């Protein structure tokens, strides 16, 4: 007789909601003191990086060459945080929605969602639109998806 596993979906949905709440707080809950003398368009320009790998390369350079421990820890936390904070989403999404168990569908939905997050951060001035964040976040989600795929087979 096969062993029946209790339905754990409500637990994982709750875990996903908690995760989303924490991520919302991390991504959007910041106190900014904007200089109201700077035009909004200029603030948008200053908070946009569309050149892939620019930020990652700058952080890599600081990590390899700087002796400033604050800057080194800032760069390390930014790089690893952008990957690790999104890995749980990559693990939870296919677990909760069977349609996202297909990697290409998962990748497309994740890319669109991350693009939306970056865009909201930019226009709300609660963050930057950085293509490198998108790359790192998507890398984290992909790692989570791979863990889901590996653990599902066991």
For 14-59, the pLDDT digits (tens) are: 999 999 999 999 998 866 666 778 899 999 999 999 999 999 999 9
Does residue 66 register a pLDDT over 80? yes
β-pairing, 48-49 vs 129-130, is: parallel
Least confident of 14-18, 36-40, 119-123, 146-150: 36-40
Question: Would you tell me how many other CB atoms lie within 10 Å of the CB of residue 60?
Answer: 13
Residue 53: per-residue pLDDT: 97
Residue 28: per-residue pLDDT: 87
**10 token code pair:** 């409500």
Does residue 132 register a pLDDT over 70? yes
- Work out the mean pLDDT of the chain and round it to a whole number: 92
Paired with 129 in beta bridges are 48
Residue 135: per-residue pLDDT: 98
What does R_g of the chain's alpha carbons equal in angstroms?
18
More confident residue, 107 or 125: 107
Spatial CA neighbour of 135 closest among 82, 93, 89: 82
Q: Are 137 and 114 in contact (CB under 8 A)?
A: yes
Q: Mean per-residue pLDDT for 76-100?
A: 97
**114 token code pair:** 């991350």
């Amino acid at each position: 007789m096969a062993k029946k596993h209790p339905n754990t979906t409500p637990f994982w949905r709750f875990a996903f909601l908690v995760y989303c709440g924490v991520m919302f707080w991390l991504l959007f809950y910041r106190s900014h003191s904007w200089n109201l003398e700077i035009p909004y368009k200029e603030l948008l320009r200053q908070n946009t990086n569309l050149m892939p790998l620019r930020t990652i390369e700058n952080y890599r350079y600081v990590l390899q060459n700087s002796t400033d421990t604050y800057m080194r820890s800032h760069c390390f936390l930014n790089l690893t945080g952008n990957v690790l904070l999104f890995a749980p989403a990559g693990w939870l999404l296919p677990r909760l929605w069977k349609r996202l168990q297909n990697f290409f569908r998962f990748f497309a939905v994740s890319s669109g969602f991350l693009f939306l997050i970056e865009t909201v951060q930019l226009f709300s001035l609660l963050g930057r639109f950085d293509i490198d964040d998108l790359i790192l976040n998507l890398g984290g989600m992909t790692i989570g998806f791979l863990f889901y795929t590996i653990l599902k087979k066991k």
